[in-house]
A and B are shown apart, each in its own frame.
Chain A
């Protein structure tokens, strides 16, 4: 009798503690996050696990009999394949080029529009417009502009003495830079918004103090603006690196990775391997590599954001 009582008492205590945990403790947080976690798990987690599994398999439509052969062969191939290394290097260059271009353009635009009083909204919207253009549309427009025969770029260059236009997207030397320019045009507004917000957060008095302290315009930029923007810029750089690394539509639509692989970044190589080469397992392996690089970039981003918040809190 006493034993049964004790047991039901225990059961009640247990129930109460579960209830409390689900309504106010860590359990509650988990409960609230559960729907989102389920969705993310279903649409990202499951395919990713399938891809991971596939990367050890041998699903290649040109050699269907190999399917079901598991092993590390794809990873071995990844390390030996000169195409994969060149794709990683191209991705890195693309990332670097778009980051430098976008930050330089965005910083210039933000500095120019910061002190403008007249038509301020107009200028800002103008600089934001490229972002509203879908990458696919931007790619098509740039494709027309880059055209060797009737593209506006060569038409305009006709008027510049001693300069002859090129077949921008077909030429091996010019294709990759041309893609970077199109990408920069499309994505620099992201950096522009961040930097503009950062500029507005710098107290005007710092500039007044600097002027009194005999700093010239460039010295003010170098000693006040840049250091005050350093965390925003770091965040922007990492964000743009992620965007540049993931970038696909502009490259794929304009060159498809050509000419002869000169613009085949990791994402494009992955796509081409899967849907042109029909080697799905190796494509999955390339995809896993891309995911690892992305995760490293995202971790860097999160660390930066955390540091930025620390710094803000400390000031």
Chain B
């Protein structure tokens, strides 16, 4: 992996959050957020609803006040600047198109507000419309457009200004699945064409994985992890991140752990499944969580094995998910695992099954959820 973090710090910074916090009355919504976003980077804020990701975006836009900390755009602190002075454009979840203006007037609006010349406005609007395939719709009103077209107009209104930073607040959540995939591609294409920082907020981890140069995972007002989609998926820094990314969800198994020496810990999943893993256990011994993704499990073979009973299967065409109940330690409840198997694999409900896996593909989390 080339390191995009290093890249971000060497290039000029697009946006920088330094110790940013947000409080509503007594309720802390965001706590000590530190994020450096590179110029021209497409970064995605992802997290469950209520995690503060939209608030963070709105603070950057200037629509919410910052309680403490500093937000910089292109190196310049903008905390006290109104939105109009921040050189940002935003696409809203509800599009927020001006209903009494035509598509053309909507796109021209940000130019009109700063008194750009009529000819210049026309040229820019036409260019933008061509880029988004809206040329035939310039004289229509938003109410005559489909959801996808409205979405494009909202993007057009942002693009036409040529801002330093684009903000997207869950822009695709009102579209149907097929259109969402298509718009995702278009946003990526735009990102390649337009040299600007893009910050994209979503609760959809698939959107985050497919779009992002880097992902910021937020939960409960705190940054959980910042990294490329590959890093987020393959080295989640907490149990939360591991569970949030990936579908179906990562399997989490309770295990006993006992330190055996430097970088070595003995992990006991069940009496028949004991192995050594190369991490340190600060407490010496205790209960930990072992995370293993469905595609890292197999039925039948594997370096290590667990035995269980098939509960049911899900056939998805290209793959098949088998849900199996395994009993682990004597004092823990039976655990349901998801195993990705080839679609032609025959599995019957109630059938006994052996699940194999490789300890190298396991993630280990301490009781507080942090990665070991």
Contacts and interface: CB of A to CB of B under 8 A. Distances in A.
Interface stretch (B41-49, B69-77, B90-98, B357-365): B90-98
Contacts of B230: none
Contacts of A223: 98, 109
A212 B61 CA distance: 7
Interface stretch (A148-156, A201-209, A243-251): A201-209
Interface in A133-167: none
A213 B62 CA distance: 12
Interface stretch (A42-50, A87-95, A214-222): A214-222
B98 A224 contact: yes
Interface in A196-244: 203, 205-206, 208-216, 219, 223-224, 227-228, 230
A315 interface: yes
Nearest to A214: B84
Given A205-B94, A214-B84, A214-B110, A315 B99 contact: yes
Contact of B96 (A206, A219, A227): A206
Interface in B70-89: 82-84, 88-89
Contacts of B94: 203, 205
A208 B113 contact: no
A213 B157 CA distance: 8
Interface centre among B96, B110, B114 (most CB of A within 10 A): B96
B92 A216 contact: no
B63 interface: yes
Nearest to B88: A212
A211 B96 CA distance: 12
A314 interface: yes
Nearest to B86: A212
Contacts of A215: 84, 109, 113
A247 B82 CA distance: 48
A239 to B, nearest CB: 22
A213 B88 CA distance: 9
Interface in A282-315: 314-315
Interface residues of B, number: 24
B262 interface: no
A205 B58 CA distance: 12
A311 to B, nearest CB: 9
Contacts of A314: 143
Contacts of A216: 84, 113
Contacts of B90: 209, 212
Interface string B132-149: 000000000001000000
B27 interface: no
Contacts of A219: 113
A211 B114 contact: no
B333 interface: no
Given A219-B113, A223-B109, A315-B99, A209 B84 contact: no
B92 A227 contact: no
A208 B82 CA distance: 11
B100 interface: yes
Nearest to A207: B96
A230 B99 CA distance: 12
A171 to B, nearest CB: 45
Contact of A212 (B83, B98, B101, B143): B83
Interface in B127-183: 143, 157, 161
Contact of B63 (A211, A224, A227): A211
B110 A208 contact: no
B143 A315 contact: yes
A49 B197 CA distance: 75
A210 B101 CA distance: 13
B109 A213 contact: yes
Contacts of B100: 227-228, 230
A212 B84 CA distance: 6
B41 to A, nearest CB: 20
B239 to A, nearest CB: 36
B197 to A, nearest CB: 15
Interface centre among A211, A219, A228 (most CB of B within 10 A): A211
B105 to A, nearest CB: 10
Contacts of B113: 210, 213-216, 219
Query: What 5 A-B pairs come out closest when comparing CB atoms?
Result: A209-B96, A214-B84, A213-B110, A205-B96, A227-B100
26 contacts: A203-B94, A205-B92, A205-B94, A205-B96, A206-B96, A206-B98, A208-B63, A209-B92, A209-B96, A209-B157, A210-B98, A211-B82, A212-B62, A212-B63, A212-B90, A212-B110, A213-B109, A213-B161, A214-B113, A216-B84, A216-B113, A223-B98, A227-B98, A230-B100, A314-B143, A315-B143
Given A209-B92, A223-B109, A224-B98, 9 more contacts: A205-B92, A210-B113, A213-B110, A214-B84, A214-B113, A215-B109, A227-B98, A227-B100, A315-B99
